[in-house]
Amino acid sequence: MQIIIPLTDTDHCILKEGQDVDFETPFLQKKTEEEVNISIAKNLNVSPEKIFHFLKKFVGETIEKDETIALNKGIFTTKKIISKYSGLIKEINHSDGSITILSKSKTENTFNSYFKGKVNKIKKNELSVEVSKGEEFPGKNISQNFGGKTFFVDEDADFNSENVFNSVIVCEEITPYYRAKAEALGCRGFVSLSKLSGDSEIPTAQLKNINDYKKVVKTKFTYCTILTNSSTIYFYL
């Protein structure tokens, strides 16, 4: 079975075509841009509404580190503001006399894979992954992309750290007590039939149809991957 994994413009995929991946494989580096606010009026000692006359850079223009942002030439002294950042002028605020720079200095965070299989093809906005035999089901109320080995909650389930850690909990519903316990034991998320109550930082998703839930529980697939863009839940071996 093939799963199409979406990629965004801020995603840097560090996988290779033909690579075998699991849930511990580094998958993405996400870049975050920093917004920097600089008070022109305060630094040049001018009225906020008049900063336009002193600016050397305007909205939409790029600026490099150590380049002059604004300049105020006086009779005896000259005041200027030098940029400490390279980036793009995003906004000029004439109310408080400041400008906002979208800095090029980016922070990269690495995220592990939420699927297990072999990378087939990597494109700009997506990658395809070949996984073992499985099925896809419609989902709803999916909080984010996630996945992992599955742990099915039933009468015979041994709710301990060995089973729950790094697992996606599959259940019809779950009590607040067991939900809190699963989170404390390090689960990756929840896939349920009924909507879970309360807020949580742990990812959640619902199977849309009761018959699909019954099939999933009966088959007890080993792994699952849940995607927000297609509202699809993949279960596979």
**Would you state the CATH architecture of domain 133-236?**
3-Layer(bba) Sandwich (3.50)
Residues 6+ apart with CB under 8 A from 137: 207, 208, 209, 212, 216, 232, 233, 234, 235
pLDDT at residue 157 greater than cutoff 80: no
pLDDT of residue 75: 81
Beta bridge partners of 205: 191
Return the number of other C-beta atoms located less than 10 Å from residue 223's C-beta.
Answer: 22
Confidence class of residue 7 from pLDDT cuts 50, 70 and 90?
very high
pLDDT of residue 29: 86
pLDDT of residue 24: 96
User: What average pLDDT does the segment 228-236 reach?
Assistant: 97
Note the pLDDT tens digit of each residue in 9-31: 778 899 999 999 999 999 998 77
pLDDT of residue 34: 82
Give the C-alpha separation, 62 to 59, whole Å.
Answer: 9
Mean pLDDT of the chain: 92
Counting DSSP H helices and E strands in the chain, the numbers are: 4, 18
Give the C-alpha separation, 237 to 87, whole Å.
Answer: 47
DSSP 8-class letter at 55: B
Which residue, among 227, 138, 229, 230, has the nearest Cα to 189 in the 3D structure? 227
pLDDT of residue 137: 98
Note the pLDDT tens digit of each residue in 38-73: 999 999 999 999 999 999 999 999 999 999 999 998
pLDDT at residue 155 greater than cutoff 90: no
Structure tokens at 9: 């413009």
Contact 79, 45 (CB under 8 A): yes
Structure tokens at 100: 């906002």
Domain range summary for the chain, segments of one domain joined by +: 32-107, 133-236
User: What average pLDDT does the segment 75-90 reach?
Assistant: 89
| Span of 7-11, 163-167, 191-195, 200-204 with lowest mean pLDDT | 7-11
Note the pLDDT tens digit of each residue in 91-123: 999 999 999 998 876 667 889 999 999 999 999
Give the C-alpha separation, 185 to 202, whole Å.
Answer: 12
CATH 3.40.390: does it fit domain 32-107?
no
Contact 232, 139 (CB under 8 A): yes
pLDDT of residue 154: 80
